Amino acid sequence: MGLLIKFSLFLTFLVIPLWASVPSYENLKAAPKGLVKDYYIYRFAKENRASKAQLKKLRTQIYRYQGSIKTLFDKKLGVIKQKVTDCSKYNLSNIHKANATCQNMLLSISFMNSLKPEQRSALAKRLKNTNSKFYNFVQGFSKDDPLGYYIKIGDTTGYFKHYFSAQDKDKFLNTHKLSSLLIVNSINHWQFKTIIQESVIGKKNDEFRRSLLKVNPDKLSGDMAFLFGLNAILFHQEDKAVKFFEVAAMKSKFASNKDNANFWIYLITKNKNLLKEIANSADINIYSLYAREFSSNEKIKIAVPKPATKELLKYDYTDPFTWQRTREKVANMPSSELISYASRFYTQSTLGEYSYIMQKAHNYKIHFFPMPFMEHIGTDDIKRQALILALARQESRFVPSAISTSYALGMMQFMPFLAVDIAAKLGISKFDIDDMFKPQIAYKFANFHLDYLEKYLYNPIFIAYAYNGGIGFTKRMLLRGDLFSRKSEYSKYEPFLSMDLVPYAESRVYAKKVLANYIIYLAVLGKSTKISHFLNNTLIPELSDGFRDKISF
């Protein structure tokens, strides 16, 4: 792999947390709205020093009222009462004049069952005259089997009203076989997408999933076609799977998703021309890297910026408000100005910001693999260095002051509770969770956490699952027995099938990206390794983890 890497650009070129860094109430009020302000509002409220009046005012300024901040404020101030649409003026006689919200609220299954046949018939006529989407739902109650009627004509309203009222939803899905028309009409329904994903990824609801096999692939979106393809694989319907994956590849918006779908077609058909196409992908992902092992000698073009200037003057890279202002400025900046603006960040301390802006300037067609703050990485071991860099690139793009929607902090994106725990174990006094914005702390904590994870996990893929989703999640997944197994009935597709069936969606994507990063950084650091080595080892417990029973070779 070392010969495949071409550096094409810029190579010359118990502790208790303190809260001292939390802005005052007045400063918080004046701070710009966004995730950074939310994070500090959360900290300010959590200290219990804020008055209710202050909290009420701050709640009106929260940018993203979800997750932990919502839980905290709901506890302190009570749940915000949602505005409920007033439908009290509508009844059987005038419900056809109501808006869709009130019609949906009033036209329940129990309400329809309470009506006499002549009342239902009259109501259906009025709804038909007003082009109400609930016409078929009401009309269905004149049939011997309303649900069967909805399935036959593809009426999503009636079908989902019955689904939501079912006590045992899995039984409902498996009992009532779907028509192709209903499936196609339901594709954009948020709940139906969730049902399909949970059923396919969880390998459950067999009868429901079997009905998906008869759908015309051309009617599906790219992401749905990919799920339908996986479903066909699980039923050993390879010919149908190919057709679904072809649509997924054609309609995918991202090169990585297209490569994923095409790789599945290659696994099924062994068409080496597809492997060459994937190998020449503009994207760097596990599929293009794997394909390169067998079908390409072309060097991978990446950018490894190495500026001589140490830091950007008058720019505090540890201040999350500073990064928020920078990111917002970049978001609204014309493409023609981005490269010039990025050049001011071409320093050792702002490599993350520089790479972020440059990738946007080049429409993400140039892949930047910066290696900032290597003086703080805390280890001489090349594999550990590559793993830390691979994780950081995916976690934060090496922006020291990055904050996620769940308030994970810094380059290595530690959750506050984990950061506090590690600080205690390391014996760091006067620790403040904002210290995670310091690169030397981020790397130090990453090394400590990886030391723990590597006691149980030896493969970077599994380590990535644990870093993102938790070691408990990873252990449960591996001990299921049906994933990453050489004894699987789908062994000829492993580990790729298991990697697409990881139950936690974020971790499923995350580990693939980290592995691709890891391969590149290993090569950059002079320790080239084939990606197939790590992929194959996932199937061998002796080489990949300490949770599963060992299997003799």
User: Mind spelling out the 3-state secondary structure of 270-331?
Assistant: CCHHHHHHHHCCCCCCHHHHHHHHHHCCCCEEEECCCCCCCCCCCCCCCCHHHHHHHHHHHH
Cα within 13 Å of Cα(217), Cβ side: 23
Question: What DSSP assignment string belongs to 369-386?
Answer: ---TTGGGS----HHHHH
Same domain, 171 and 124: no
325 vs 48, 228, 319, 331, 342, CA distance in Å?
29, 42, 10, 10, 14
Residues of the chain with pLDDT under 70: 1-20, 551-553
Predicted pLDDT at 12: 32
Same domain, 112 and 143: yes
Cα–Cα distance for residue pair 160/172, rounded to 1 Å: 11
Same domain, 145 and 113: yes
Closest CA to 425 of 398, 452, 443: 452
Domain assignment present for residue 122? The answer is yes
State which H helix or E strand residue 258 sits in: helix 255-269
Residue where one domain finishes, among candidates 216, 251, 286: 251
Full residue range of the structural domain in which residue 69 is found:
25-77
432: phi then psi, degrees, rounded to nearest 5? -120, 140
Domain assignment present for residue 228? The answer is yes
Tell me if 458 sits within 8 A of 543, measured CB to CB. yes
Domain assignment present for residue 143? The answer is yes
Tell me if 106 sits within 8 A of 79, measured CB to CB. no
Same domain, 244 and 173: yes
Cα–Cα distance for residue pair 487/477, rounded to 1 Å: 16
Same domain, 174 and 244: yes
Same domain, 108 and 69: no
Same domain, 246 and 172: yes
Cα–Cα distance for residue pair 139/265, rounded to 1 Å: 44
State which H helix or E strand residue 6 sits in: strand 5-9
Burial class (CB in 10 A: 0-12, 13-18, 19+), 49: exposed
Same domain, 160 and 194: no
Torsion of CA 19, 468, 477, 163, to 10 degrees: 90
Predicted pLDDT at 551: 67
State which H helix or E strand residue 130 sits in: none
Burial class (CB in 10 A: 0-12, 13-18, 19+), 276: middle
Same domain, 147 and 172: no
Domain assignment present for residue 46? The answer is yes
Domain assignment present for residue 148? The answer is yes
Cα–Cα distance for residue pair 39/405, rounded to 1 Å: 9
Number of domains in the chain: 3
Closest CA to 521 of 420, 411, 393: 393
Domain assignment present for residue 230? The answer is yes
pLDDT tens by residue, 310-319: 999 999 999 9
Domain assignment present for residue 294? The answer is no
Predicted pLDDT at 299: 84
Domain assignment present for residue 469? The answer is no
Tell me if 128 sits within 8 A of 135, measured CB to CB. yes
Residue where one domain finishes, among candidates 164, 181, 202: 164
Cα–Cα distance for residue pair 466/476, rounded to 1 Å: 11
Q: Which residues fall within 8 angstroms of residue 258, CB to CB, at 6 or more apart?
A: 248, 249, 252, 281
Tell me if 30 sits within 8 A of 40, measured CB to CB. no
Residue where one domain finishes, among candidates 137, 164, 191: 164
Same domain, 176 and 238: yes
Structure tokens at 20: 């001292």
